[in-house]
Amino acid sequence: MGRIRGKDIKAVAFDLHDAYPEKFSEDFEQNKRSVNELNLFDSKKKRNRVAGYVVRVVRNAKRKK
């Protein structure tokens, strides 16, 4: 079984995707750099979790189109 992400990670990921749709894609490394540029988090772990969940949000958004 996979890890469950908290509501805070999910909320930030959805907000970032809605605010900056052109900055995020299905590439984790690019998303990681984009989240880092916004200087939202002090910890690497949170940054990576949000960047990883943004990948999922982008994929789901493309599937719904």
Question: pLDDT tens track of the chain, all 65 residues?
Answer: 677 889 999 999 999 999 999 999 999 999 999 999 999 999 999 999 999 999 999 999 999 87
If DSSP states are collapsed to H, E and C, what string results for the chain? CCCCCCHHHHHHHHHHHHHCCCCCCCCHHHHHHHHHHCCCCCCHHHHHHHHHHHHHHHHHHHHHC
Looking up residue 14, the CATH number of its domain turns out to be 1.10.60.20
Question: pTM of the prediction?
Answer: 0.90
Query: pLDDT value at position 3?
Result: 77
Domain count, the chain: 1
Instruction: For residue 25, tell me if it sits in a domain.
Output: yes
Give the model's pLDDT for residue 36: 95
Q: What angle do CA 26, 49, 5 make, to 5 degrees?
A: 110
Where in the sequence is the domain holding 15, given as residue range(s)?
Answer: 7-64
pLDDT at 7: 95
